């Protein structure tokens, strides 16, 4: 890197406090033009706060923001954008009922006289941007009709409306398929080649090591150091992040398998999935691996009674069962930890204990009232068992970290004493430290005799936790692997729709 270059963006000694919390404590950060600088840290380490300071959504209490050598003060996202700083949000912040073009130019629509919108220019410019992104849709489409991945593309297109100096990507790949990721990485490299500084926030180590030039690590709101990617490795980064090394080895103890608990025969729900057959035994973890949209979540929803299949059979302990609703599933001992814990798993405004006892509160009544002591007993038991970190059961779950929130959801279902535990994307949006805890937890649960199904889009995760892996592609099961026979290559081929025979 050229030493004489002025950083595109520099943050000096940024301090930001919220009532009772010092969210950022003297953080330094800089991005050179044409550099991808990854920002890493566990959830709650202050990454998002830092980015919001950068985007003008928060005002820092102390410290300076320097853009191209000039100290600036930014009070709104539009101002930040005018300075050439663009933030691409982790959670989509689009107006669903508006067109893609309007969303791209939201807040700065091209105008004609008397404040009328210049639609011709708007569509022309936005279509040009979408073309550059290789998008197969046009600016006239209403956003609500686009897939999540395409909505993400619209979000990215927003960054390209101005001559950006710095673009911040906050977990951009969370909802993208592998193919779309490739496009995204091309865009990032293209921006980089044109001298734009990129800030890249992600939990995925593989992405960070392929993309970034430098890595800065935050922990508990303070700056932990900057590493040059080429000279470091995952272990060093992890140690900076969580203060210790991670044990990444797989729990190799041979599981003692019990009887077959759940069996599925020829389950079909066109067009989502067809002809699905598999079984899970007590003490076993079966991983479902595939791309987003391969039909894995839909199978889980069917098993949990949220969706009904067209045909096929579900057997529990060898007996055919009908699952018409979640209460039916719960009565049969099937539990589902859903994909999106904030939207589907938790009532964020409720406290920890109430969330955990949600499905069984009707069984805890003494007389007309809910028994507080029975609830506390359950909560204390699973807080201890799952090592949930919360000051008190009265804590609203909204303020807990992602890992602890996920443990509350898992605790909720464990306390129901299920036979089959289905976990959909158990570590999405969770930092590496908590991730390995959750993996260990899933292994431990299987060892205690639960039949566990893990649905995941992350290959390392599936490889680490599963005894068997079911690979899905486009609504069908392509292959089934046992843990000792699976290879990354064969797994990738299976989920890309290449049959085993063609490979051989």
Minimum distance of another protein from residue 18's CB (angstroms)? 6
Minimum distance of another protein from residue 231's CB (angstroms)? 35
For 87-99, give one letter per residue: b (16+ CB within 10 A) or e: bbbbeeebeeeeb
Interface residue list for another protein (CB under 8 A): 18-21, 49, 52, 57-58, 304, 306, 325-327, 329-330, 336, 338, 343-350, 354, 358-359, 361-362, 364-365, 368-370, 391-392, 394-396, 398-399, 412
Angle (CA) 149-48-438 rounded to 5° is 75
Q: Which residues contact 161 (CB under 8 A, 6 or more apart)?
A: 104, 105, 108, 125, 129
Of the candidates 341, 337, 338, 354, the residue with the CA atom closest to the CA atom of residue 430 = 341
Of the candidates 457, 388, 458, 446, the residue with the CA atom closest to the CA atom of residue 422 = 446
Do 217 and 209 contact (CB within 8 A), yes or no? no
CA end-to-end distance (rounded Å), the chain: 46
Q: Pick the closer one to another protein by CB: 400 or 432.
A: 400
CA distance 339 to 425: 5
CA distance 166 to 183: 19
Q: Pick the closer one to another protein by CB: 21 or 111.
A: 21
Minimum distance of another protein from residue 418's CB (angstroms)? 12
Q: Which residues pair with 167 in a beta bridge?
A: 86, 198
Q: Pick the closer one to another protein by CB: 322 or 344.
A: 344
Q: Pick the closer one to another protein by CB: 318 or 368.
A: 368
Minimum distance of another protein from residue 337's CB (angstroms)? 9
Minimum distance of another protein from residue 466's CB (angstroms)? 24
Q: Pick the closer one to another protein by CB: 165 or 412.
A: 412
Minimum distance of another protein from residue 316's CB (angstroms)? 16
The position carrying tokens 């859903």 is: 338
Q: Pick the closer one to another protein by CB: 249 or 392.
A: 392
The position carrying tokens 């443990």 is: 407
Bond into 271 cis (ω within 30):
yes
Q: Pick the closer one to another protein by CB: 416 or 486.
A: 416
In angstroms, the Cα distances linking 88 to 107, 300, 460 are 15, 31, 27
The position carrying tokens 């993208």 is: 176
Q: Pick the closer one to another protein by CB: 346 or 470.
A: 346
Minimum distance of another protein from residue 344's CB (angstroms)? 5
Minimum distance of another protein from residue 358's CB (angstroms)? 4
Structure tokens at 108: 């700065």
Q: C-alpha 108: how far from its chain's center?
A: 30
Q: Which residues contact 317 (CB under 8 A, 6 or more apart)?
A: 259, 260, 261
Q: Pick the closer one to another protein by CB: 223 or 304.
A: 304
Minimum distance of another protein from residue 369's CB (angstroms)? 4
């Amino acid at each position: 890197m050229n030493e004489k270059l002025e950083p595109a963006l520099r943050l000096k000694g940024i301090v930001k406090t919220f009532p009772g919390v010092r969210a950022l404590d003297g953080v330094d950060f800089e991005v050179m033009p044409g550099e991808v600088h990854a920002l890493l840290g566990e959830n709650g380490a202050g990454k998002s706060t830092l980015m919001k300071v950068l985007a003008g959504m928060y005002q820092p209490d102390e410290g300076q923001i320097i853009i191209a050598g000039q100290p600036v003060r930014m009070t709104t996202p539009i101002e930040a954008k005018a300075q050439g700083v663009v933030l691409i949000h982790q959670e989509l912040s689009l107006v669903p009922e508006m067109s893609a073009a309007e969303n791209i130019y939201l807040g700065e629509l091209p105008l004609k006289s008397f404040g009328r919108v210049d639609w011709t220019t708007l569509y022309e410019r936005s279509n040009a941007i979408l073309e550059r992104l290789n998008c197969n849709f046009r600016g006239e489409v209403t956003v609500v009709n686009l897939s999540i991945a395409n909505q993400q593309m619209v979000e990215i297109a927003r960054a390209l409306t101005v001559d950006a100096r710095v673009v911040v990507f906050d977990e951009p790949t969370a909802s993208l398929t592998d193919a779309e990721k490739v496009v995204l990485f091309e865009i990032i490299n293209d921006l980089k080649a044109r001298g734009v500084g990129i800030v890249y926030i992600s939990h995925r180590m593989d992405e960070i090591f392929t993309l970034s030039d430098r890595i800065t690590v935050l922990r508990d709101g303070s700056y932990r150091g900057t590493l040059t990617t080429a000279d470091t490795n995952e272990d060093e980064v992890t140690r900076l992040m969580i203060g210790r090394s991670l044990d990444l080895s797989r729990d190799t103890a041979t599981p003692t398998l019990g009887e077959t608990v759940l069996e599925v025969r020829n389950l079909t729900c066109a067009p989502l999935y067809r002809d699905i057959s598999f079984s899970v035994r007590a003490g076993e973890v079966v991983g479902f691996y595939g791309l987003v949209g391969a039909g894995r979540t839909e199978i889980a929803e069917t098993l949990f009674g949220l969706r009904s299949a067209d045909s096929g059979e579900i057997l529990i302990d060898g007996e055919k069962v009908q699952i018409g609703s979640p209460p039916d599933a719960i009565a049969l001992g099937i539990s589902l930890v859903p994909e999106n814990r904030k939207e589907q798993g938790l009532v964020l405004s409720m406290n920890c204990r109430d969330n955990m006892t949600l499905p069984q509160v009707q069984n805890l009544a003494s007389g007309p009232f809910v028994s507080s002591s029975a609830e506390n007993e359950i909560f204390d038991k699973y807080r201890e068992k799952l090592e949930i970190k919360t000051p008190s059961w009265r804590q609203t779950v909204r303020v807990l970290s992602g890992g602890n929130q996920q443990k509350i959801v898992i605790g909720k279902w464990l306390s129901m004493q299920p036979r089959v535990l289905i976990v959909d994307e158990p570590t999405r949006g969770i930092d590496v430290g908590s991730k390995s805890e959750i993996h260990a937890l899933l292994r431990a649960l299987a060892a205690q005799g639960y039949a566990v199904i893990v649905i995941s889009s992350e290959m390392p995760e599936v490889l680490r936790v599963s005894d068997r892996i079911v690979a899905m592609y486009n609504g069908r099961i392509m292959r089934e692997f046992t843990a000792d026979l699976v290879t990354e290559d064969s797994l990738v081929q299976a989920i890309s729709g290449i049959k085993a025979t063609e490979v051989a």
